[in-house]
Chain A
Amino acid sequence: MTALLELRQLSGGYSPIQIFQNVDLVVQPGETVGFFGPNGHGKTTLMKTISGVLEPWSGDVIFEGRRINREAPRGSRRFRNFNYDAVTRRRMDPKAVARAGLIHVAQGNLLFPEMTVDEVLSIAPMAAAGREKGNRFGLTSIHSLFPRLAERRGHKIRFLSGGERQMVSIAAGLLAVPRLLILDEPTLGLSPKLRLELCQSIRAIKDMGVPLIVIDQDVAFLSALIDRLHLFDHGRIARVLGKAEIPDHDTLMSMLFGAAIT
């Protein structure tokens, strides 16, 4: 069986600083995978690299058996003045990644401030064009998943709260009929009430059979949701825990930092 997503020795970062090194990861179809780790250790950078917003420095991203990054053309000597200090990178195309069905709901996405909720949701299925016939996720199912969005349909994004904006982001991701959905810190900075609401919606999404990669700081939420938890530390996957092995938040933190200190 082909893995849904496979990373082989993936490295990347913001030039000239490398953020993560040689990450290997396999996500099988139907799996829900979690990422947990301290802020600033490269989780978001890794996800941005998978979705093609950033260029990988080395290694491969393989989605459904197809490598979606390609070798960047080596700058010829003539053009070297451009990229004198650049490492030879691999190129990716975020549009192609999204159209292949790998949908990344970015952390703290500000979306399009001057567009209304309905307008944003109307362009979201563009990523599914040509790939999916008969969209499984219509506006009705979105509105039953996120009832708030039905109330807010005519409002501009910049007048929405952070949680509502997050809901629009996720809803837009679903409308693209994801074959794999990456949620980067969906509950970041939300009020407890909204957070609860969103967690329920994400569970509902999982129950619909959408494979997920979820990054979050809430271990209780993650452990109820996912099959495997990857502990991310200093730009690498430090440990992989099965569903049964996931301890509480404090133990997890001491696992991460304890391991780092000794």
Chain B
Amino acid sequence: MRYDPPFHKSSGFVPALVVLAMLLVLPLMIEASYLRHLMILAFVFGIVAASWDLSLGYGGLFNFAHVALFAVGIYTYAILTKTFGLNPWIAVLIAGPVTMALAALVALPVLRLDGIYVILVTIAFSQLVYQVIISQSSVTGGTSGIVTLPPLAIGDYKLTSDGRIGYYYVALGLTVAACAFLHGVIRSRLGRAIMALRDAKYAAIARGVPEGRTRVLTLAASGLFTGLAGGFYASYVRVASPDIFGLGSLTLVLSILLVGGIGTIWGPVCAAFAIILLSEAMADLGPWRDILTALLIIAVMVLYPGGLWGVVQEAREAFATARAGIRAGWRRRQGRPAREALMGATEAMLPTRHGHVAVSDTGGAGPAILCIHGNSACKEAFARQFAAFRGSHRLIAFDLPGHGVSGNADPETAYNVPAYADVAEDVLAALGVDRPVILGWSLGGYVGLELTSRAPARFAGLCITGTSPLNIVPEDFARGYDASSHLVLAGKQYFTAAEERAYAGSATVPLSKDSAFLHANINRTDGRTRYYMITKLGVVDWPRQMRMIREGALPLAILNGADDPFLDHGYIAGLDYGRIWSGAPHDIPGGKHAPFFNAPEAFNRHFSAFMDWANRPASITGTG
């Protein structure tokens, strides 16, 4: 399962403020007291579920005593106000820390346990609390509970008056505080420790993350607002009853959490509204309500393990894909004359195994060069090679599926390196090109390596630029590339505006009048191409590429920019080459990740020399 953080295009602060403003004015619009009642319940259970999310979703600790913690908050309020006659406000505030302390106590027996045992102990703990409450009827009211608890009031003003508007705002405030608190915890050092323990327990421990202490703190943090919500809930419904320990409240909170999405915090808060409304709508159905709730839980487990967030994400992806597709279609029709002028070549759509792709072909009888562009770029990146070699060679370039003005394709099958090589094969076959030289840039370099390693004899040569040949993926990835750069963006599905600029600037060329079209092209790229390409690196036959390079099965040139921000030049220089132009990889001074674009003269000179060398018999070039 993979879920991205909730906000791609902003830190989420502005949308949160908008929602908050809407919730602030909502009761002024809607007078219906029943709706406010439901909203208050939704706030309370949203807090409980979101707090649970901290331990369950982020911490991976299946703490089934969470509802019992909520009950502890309720009973703390009840006992403090009823038995000790404490001020209700103070009682609510005390309910938080008391629950927190008890949550830390829950953590003690589960410190050394894992998986199912955590569930069992916490269930036992919750039963223990239940039994203690039932057995101490003199304090807790036993099975009948404590009734007629004092409500919250400010001076003489009862928060229940004016259609519960006071309770509404307190509940809203509590929810905002809870979200801010949980968000803060997750973003803190503790939050990173919590997630590290969940994702790679032993690695985290080996790096010095204290497991026991983190577990105690996780549960304590998840207890704080659960207790506050419990105290507040008790002051609102004015009853503390042991019924809260029943299966009903557990399934309610669990369904809120699951529907909202585990590990999202905001998901449960939102889902609480939907579930509470749904639950109210089904109130007349009696036992059917529980059956339907249970079926809902199962359906979510089966269909959307990521909950509401999974739905939102799929909708978002569908939208982004459609938008990129529409952009491509629009530009295919509108920009064609400009593109043909830029390339000096005709553009046509060719059918391939992975959909129709746009191909620029100068035609002519000269030796053929096939140019394959990089991640999130387009065929026009090679305009300066087209201009330089047009007279002597036949130049062909095509937009990869999901890029440029080619169509989008099936992400599962088309957005990976071998599929791109299939497309290149189909383009060459359709144009009837024999023994071309392949010029591959970055991702296109891997496509070129994959393409030529399938049948080296069918190609005159391969020139890669901005590409580190790899043998073992992903291990070699870390050696071939400089991890400190913008490289991480290469596999990111959605770009913010800043990321788009950053990626265009470093992965293609800095923004200028000439390169503006390359920057504009990025928002056309189907974001899934990046994500799928990275996740499917495993399907590439990397050792075959490396063998071809090592054995010198065809003439190779490596022309990199000396200032390439991504490449590890030392790694590339250290590889074994069987037949490489000039005896070693060549760095072009002043060149960046796209040296053929920002240092075209030097690049074209070297590339031309490489082609001359590659055309000589193997006995001469084979010296290495």
B538 touches A81 (CB 8 A): no
A17 vs B388: C-alpha distance when bound (angstroms): 41
A11 vs B542: C-alpha distance when bound (angstroms): 13
Partner of A17, one of B305, B306, B310, B538: B538
A234 vs B538: C-alpha distance when bound (angstroms): 14
Inter-chain contacts of B310 with A (CB < 8 A):
81
**Shortest beta-carbon distance, A18 to chain B, in Å?**
5
A78 touches B538 (CB 8 A): no
Partner of B537, one of A13, A16, A84, A88: A16
- Scan A71-96; emit 1 where CB is below 8 A from any B CB, else 0: 00011001111101101100000000
The 3 closest A-B pairs by CB, nearest first: A16-B538, A85-B535, A21-B541
A234 vs B471: C-alpha distance when bound (angstroms): 10
A235 touches B412 (CB 8 A): no
Inter-chain contacts of A217 with B (CB < 8 A):
none
Majority secondary structure of chain A interface residues (helix, strand, loop or mixed): loop
A74 vs B304: C-alpha distance when bound (angstroms): 17
Inter-chain contacts of B492 with A (CB < 8 A):
none
| B536 on the A face (CB < 8 A) | yes
B543 touches A234 (CB 8 A): yes
Residues of A1-34 whose CB lies within 8 A of B: 11, 13, 15-18, 21-22
B538 touches A18 (CB 8 A): yes
B539 touches A74 (CB 8 A): no
B538 touches A13 (CB 8 A): yes
A18 vs B473: C-alpha distance when bound (angstroms): 8
- Scan B292-331; emit 1 where CB is below 8 A from any A CB, else 0: 0000000000011110001000100000000000000000
Q: Which residues of A contact B (CB under 8 A)?
A: 11, 13, 15-18, 21-22, 57-58, 74-75, 78-82, 84-85, 87-88, 234-236, 261-262
Inter-chain contacts of B2 with A (CB < 8 A):
84-85
Partner of B538, one of A82, A87, A88, A236: A87
Inter-chain contacts of A58 with B (CB < 8 A):
539
A57 touches B539 (CB 8 A): yes
| B1 on the A face (CB < 8 A) | yes
A87 vs B539: C-alpha distance when bound (angstroms): 8
A79 touches B303 (CB 8 A): yes
Partner of B541, one of A22, A79, A84, A88: A22
A84 vs B411: C-alpha distance when bound (angstroms): 10
Inter-chain contacts of B36 with A (CB < 8 A):
none
Given contacts A57-B539, A81-B306, 10 further A-B contacts (CB under 8 A): A11-B539, A18-B540, A21-B543, A75-B412, A81-B304, A84-B2, A84-B535, A85-B2, A87-B538, A88-B412
Q: Which residue of B lies closest to A87 (CB)?
A: B539
| B393 on the A face (CB < 8 A) | no
A8 vs B403: C-alpha distance when bound (angstroms): 34
Inter-chain contacts of B474 with A (CB < 8 A):
16-17
30 CB < 8 A contacts A-B: A11-B539, A13-B538, A15-B538, A16-B474, A16-B538, A17-B474, A17-B538, A18-B538, A18-B539, A18-B540, A18-B541, A21-B541, A21-B544, A22-B541, A57-B539, A58-B539, A74-B412, A75-B412, A79-B303, A81-B305, A81-B310, A82-B1, A84-B2, A87-B536, A87-B538, A87-B539, A235-B543, A236-B543, A261-B576, A262-B550
Partner of B473, one of A17, A57, A74, A81: A17
Inter-chain contacts of A235 with B (CB < 8 A):
543
Given contacts A17-B473, A21-B544, A22-B541, contact A84 B1 (CB under 8 A): yes
Q: Which residue of B lies closest to A18 (CB)?
A: B538
- Scan B520-554; emit 1 where CB is below 8 A from any A CB, else 0: 00000000000000011111110110000010000
Task: Count how many chain B residues have C-beta atoms less than 8 Å from C-beta atoms of the other chain.
Answer: 23
Inter-chain contacts of A261 with B (CB < 8 A):
576
- Scan B148-192; emit 1 where CB is below 8 A from any A CB, else 0: 000000000000000000000000000000000000000000000
Q: Which residue of A lies closest to B539 (CB)?
A: A87
**Shortest beta-carbon distance, B350 to chain A, in Å?**
25
A235 vs B304: C-alpha distance when bound (angstroms): 37
B535 touches A16 (CB 8 A): yes
- Scan B499-538; emit 1 where CB is below 8 A from any A CB, else 0: 0000000000000000000000000000000000001111
A15 vs B576: C-alpha distance when bound (angstroms): 28
A78 touches B303 (CB 8 A): yes
**Shortest beta-carbon distance, A113 to chain B, in Å?**
20
Q: Which residue of A lies closest to B2 (CB)?
A: A84
Q: Which residue of A lies closest to B311 (CB)?
A: A81
Inter-chain contacts of B537 with A (CB < 8 A):
16
**Shortest beta-carbon distance, B307 to chain A, in Å?**
10
A16 vs B541: C-alpha distance when bound (angstroms): 13
**Shortest beta-carbon distance, A227 to chain B, in Å?**
28
A94 vs B306: C-alpha distance when bound (angstroms): 31
A58 vs B303: C-alpha distance when bound (angstroms): 27
A17 vs B538: C-alpha distance when bound (angstroms): 5
Q: Which residue of A lies closest to B410 (CB)?
A: A74
A170 vs B447: C-alpha distance when bound (angstroms): 46
A177 vs B597: C-alpha distance when bound (angstroms): 66
Inter-chain contacts of A234 with B (CB < 8 A):
543
Q: Which residue of A lies closest to B303 (CB)?
A: A78
**Shortest beta-carbon distance, B458 to chain A, in Å?**
18
Inter-chain contacts of A87 with B (CB < 8 A):
536, 538-539
Q: Which residue of A lies closest to B313 (CB)?
A: A81
Inter-chain contacts of B543 with A (CB < 8 A):
21, 234-236
- Scan B107-132; emit 1 where CB is below 8 A from any A CB, else 0: 00000000000000000000000000
A236 vs B2: C-alpha distance when bound (angstroms): 32
Q: Which one of B310, B538, B540 has the highest number of Cβ atoms from chain A below 10 Å of its Cβ?
A: B538
**Shortest beta-carbon distance, B299 to chain A, in Å?**
12
**Shortest beta-carbon distance, B415 to chain A, in Å?**
12
A81 touches B544 (CB 8 A): no
Q: Which residue of A lies closest to B536 (CB)?
A: A87
Inter-chain contacts of B544 with A (CB < 8 A):
21
Q: Which one of B303, B540, B543 has the highest number of Cβ atoms from chain A below 10 Å of its Cβ?
A: B543
A234 vs B544: C-alpha distance when bound (angstroms): 10
Q: Which residue of B lies closest to A13 (CB)?
A: B538
A51 vs B539: C-alpha distance when bound (angstroms): 21
**Shortest beta-carbon distance, B480 to chain A, in Å?**
16
Q: Which residue of B lies closest to A234 (CB)?
A: B543
Partner of A82, one of B305, B473, B550: B305
A75 vs B537: C-alpha distance when bound (angstroms): 20
Q: Which residue of A lies closest to B473 (CB)?
A: A17
**Shortest beta-carbon distance, A127 to chain B, in Å?**
31
A21 vs B576: C-alpha distance when bound (angstroms): 22
Inter-chain contacts of A81 with B (CB < 8 A):
1, 304-306, 310, 314
Q: Which one of A13, A15, A84 has the highest number of Cβ atoms from chain B below 10 Å of its Cβ?
A: A84
**Shortest beta-carbon distance, B261 to chain A, in Å?**
11
A17 vs B542: C-alpha distance when bound (angstroms): 11
A196 vs B310: C-alpha distance when bound (angstroms): 59
Inter-chain contacts of B413 with A (CB < 8 A):
88
A66 vs B2: C-alpha distance when bound (angstroms): 37
**Shortest beta-carbon distance, A87 to chain B, in Å?**
6
Q: Which one of A74, A79, A85 has the highest number of Cβ atoms from chain B below 10 Å of its Cβ?
A: A85
**Shortest beta-carbon distance, A160 to chain B, in Å?**
29
Q: Which residue of A lies closest to B532 (CB)?
A: A85
Q: Which residue of A lies closest to B578 (CB)?
A: A262
**Shortest beta-carbon distance, A63 to chain B, in Å?**
25
